[in-house]
Amino acid sequence: MVSGPGMPRIGVLALQGDFEAHARALGEAGAEAVPVRLPTHLAGLAGLVIPGGESSTLLKLAARDGMFEALGRFARAMPVFGTCAGCILLARRVLRPEQQSLGVLDATVERNAYGRQVDSAILETPTALPGGPLETVYIRAPRIAAIGPGVEVLAERDGDPVLVRQGRLLAATFHPELSMDRRVHRLFLDIAAGAGSGAERAA
């Protein structure tokens, strides 16, 4: 893991999924990436990334050692960035099928809405972020079917949000860690920097 003086410590939930790719992306964006496998690992973090993977499997793994409850406390108090399955876990409501979630992001998310693994795609997506279109990598991607009034849309695919922000929460239905473009991770670091401290109370 990349580390250095003054670098924010950002956790990456390392229960499943490509958490190592997120760790590399965070390092390139200017953070120290810290693997998170137990509730105690959340202490002292400036933010947390919940990577993609399989959301139902992620729920089963998070049910151990009180991790799901610890994630909920952290997400209600601190910056969290969820990608793909992480986006599903953050959502207030999950469809196809319905399943448990942390319920912190005011959004309804449909699982596997863009098809199976063979329907994966790499697209150039217009975005509100400076710097032009984003390269967006979709792998069994969910769809954000509805959002609340406090959720800001930063990128869309066919009229549906694919990158959204709600205060200190950021969520993407694609995999920014699989692109060489680090704008989304840098945005999350900016969110974490603006949120201040308080991780010890959330852990």
Give me 26's structure tokens. Answer: 């965070």
User: Active site includes 110?
Assistant: no
Q: Which helix (H) or strand (E) holds 75?
A: helix 67-77
Burial class (CB in 10 A: 0-12, 13-18, 19+), 98: exposed
Nearest to 45 by CA among 75, 88, 83: 75
User: Active site includes 175?
Assistant: yes
Give me 167's structure tokens. Answer: 């205060």
Task: Give the active site residue among 22, 41, 175, 185.
Answer: 175
Task: Give the active site residue among 22, 87, 177, 185.
Answer: 177
Task: Give the active site residue among 41, 84, 87, 185.
Answer: 84
Task: Tell me the C-alpha distance between 144 and 127, whole Å.
Answer: 16
Beta-carbon contacts of residue 159 (< 8 Å; ≥ 6 apart): none
User: Active site includes 177?
Assistant: yes
Catalytic residue numbers, as ranges: 84, 175, 177
